[in-house]
Structure 1
């Protein structure tokens, strides 16, 4: 726990920030298109704000239209950038995600995809498609959106995919035999951590299969976001004074998305704290399991 506080807290960020290179983020993103899922609050909104400030075109993927439009208006007002667009998509719906990605690819260019949307549902719930909600949102939604957009991204210069994972994945070994969390007592926190482990593995697999695109996953540290407050209220209350701001949590996401320095790193790495380190303690092939998912078959 002490090590976690040292690396993931506000003080950990402030210590690491002393070694940042500000010039890495001094970029003009005019002409480049970015998609941010879960962009109406928290780290997603902070990321969208930073990209818009630098002139990038931002596509906000959100579930709630009212909150999305409010967030868009705030981003436009602060950035003075009108190239901010809202798309209403429920990332837990495989069919919605697939259809959106297909339509988007036909009408827009995309340089950078930021998989930020996620959830931690503490009681086992099923989506309308019969999938456990955490898995459907965090893993399957991310998988479908990314794989559906890869062909379009291969047509642009310097394409990147960044997936916001979590340091929580370090406490989980991949379990491909229970993707729907049907066995044993359901634990939302552990299910979430398992999903985040799956995202890291997917990132490595994508990186090995699609050399034209730079992939990375990352842990944003402990940031004071609405999602953290609602899903882990006790932890939030205990650690509130030590939590990073949303902008601090988004800092590495933005660096990975916009800086020239980021793509000098090998594709497929997991970034945690002030340094990057690939997590290689997994050999299982999650992609094979996902491809066999009935839901994916019905949407391919």
Structure 2
């Protein structure tokens, strides 16, 4: 029988932080957890959108909804958000690294890094490491990093991570999503080596209808891309369905650290959550470790 939000265990007395919780997958993830009693920190860049999301969710939520200002493309904002979590919370059960941008023209983050790599990977990397002591002090805690099926097409361009020499917006997106997967698996290896019970998993939504697609089309301005999305529309599942893999990774009892959770049908494009196929790069320890070390340097950690 297919796993649904009805199978999420009771989340009362648990605290979850969801990045990008104001729309799409993040909003549906926050909804499902709050409806099962969790206190959910809505970590969002824009305060007015966060307030709108809280208003939308409040009518049905049985758990508390709190807003946490967070701009993943600004490492100072990431550090401030992590410090705020430490002040507010004595525990953190779930960290859902969900927020992301897709296929932007080349832009730089507040710290001077390519914006997709900075937002999708570096911001979540820094946030996860800053919150790790709180997570490790919470029994049964998990970190779920949301990637994309695009990770199969990604390559970590270690010689040009910021796209300074050559830049293709889709190649940069695939690189950032592969980085998400490599990070999730390397974090699990390091947690295991420390003897920590905290789990790290990756999850991807398949082909889900969110705000990323129209924003990508608007940013690229290409008629062919807009046409491709229209032709693919019958394949798209709802944001609520797309959120199921990350909710499964976050709450199902039968998962293990280091797994990728993805839709189980149509080449991982849609369907109920199940175990996904890892990209080859994610199985290479030396590539995961190299990305980790470079990420530490770029984030000023260590």
Conservation of the 8 A alpha-carbon contact between 1:38 and 1:60 = yes
TM-score, normalised relative to structure 2: 0.85
Matches within 5 A, 1:65-144: 65-79=47-61, 81=62, 83-108=64-89, 109-144=91-126
Shift in Å, 1:28? 1.1
SS in 2 for 1:152: helix
| Alignment partners' CA distance in 2, 1:199 and 1:50 | 23
Determine the structure 1 residue equivalent to 2:268.
none
The higher relative CO (CA closer than 8 Å, separation ≥ 6) is in 1
Question: What is aligned with 1:7?
Answer: none
**Structure 1 residue 165 corresponds to structure 2 residue 147:** yes
Describe the SS at the equivalent of 2:40. Answer: strand
- Does the 8 Å CA contact 1:268/1:278 hold for their aligned counterparts? no
Separation in 2, partners of 1:92, 1:136: 5
* Runs of 4 or more above 6 Å deviation: none
1:273 aligned residue (239, 242, 263): 263
2:23 corresponds in structure 1 to 41
- TM-score, normalised by the number of residues in structure 1: 0.86
Aligned to 1:31: 13
Retained in 1: the 8 A contact 2:263–2:276? no
Q: Secondary structure at the match of 1:292?
A: helix
- Alignment match of 2:234 (pick from 232, 241, 265): 241
- Give yes or no for contact 2:98–2:146 (8 Å, CA) kept in 1: yes
Give distance in 2, aligned partners of 1:94 and 1:55.
31
Cα distance in 1 for residues equivalent to 2:204 and 2:134: 27
Q: Deviations over 1:167-217 (max 9, x none)?
A: 001012322222111122x21111011000011111111000013211111
Alignment partner for residue 176 of structure 1, among 158, 168, 188?
A: 158
- Show the counterpart of 1:153: 135
Distance 1:23 1:144, change over 3 A: closer
Unaligned runs of 5+ in 1: 1-18
Unmatched runs of 5 consecutive residues or more in structure 2: 218-224, 265-273
